[in-house]
Chain A
Amino acid sequence: MNYLFDNKYKKISGLGFYLTTIIGLYLLITDKILDLFTLNVYSLFSESFSDLTYGGGWIENGLGDEIFTTIIIISGLVNSFCKEKIEDELISKIRLESLTISLFISYGLVMLSTFLIYNLSYMYVLVFNLFIILILFNLVFRYRLYKHYKS
Chain B
Amino acid sequence: MKNNIRMYRGKYKMTQENLSIKLGVSRQTINSIENNKYFPSLELGLKLSKIFECKVDDLFSLD
Contacts and interface: CB of A to CB of B under 8 A. Distances in A.
Contacts of A149: 26, 28
A86 to B, nearest CB: 4
Interface residues of B, number: 13
Interface stretch (A88-96, A106-114, A134-142): A88-96
Interface string B33-52: 00001101100100000000
A91 B25 CA distance: 9
A88 B32 CA distance: 12
- Which bracket fits the contact residues of A? under 10
A89 B40 CA distance: 8
Taking chain A's interface residues, is the majority helix, strand, or loop, or is none over half, making it mixed? Answer: helix
Contact of A88 (B24, B31, B37): B24
B31 A93 contact: no
26 contacts: A86-B20, A86-B24, A86-B25, A86-B26, A88-B24, A88-B25, A88-B26, A88-B29, A89-B25, A89-B29, A89-B40, A89-B41, A89-B44, A90-B26, A90-B28, A90-B29, A90-B32, A90-B38, A91-B26, A91-B29, A93-B38, A148-B32, A149-B28, A151-B31, A151-B32, A151-B37
Contacts of B38: 90, 93
B1 to A, nearest CB: 15
Nearest to A86: B26
Contacts of B41: 89
Contacts of B32: 90, 148, 151
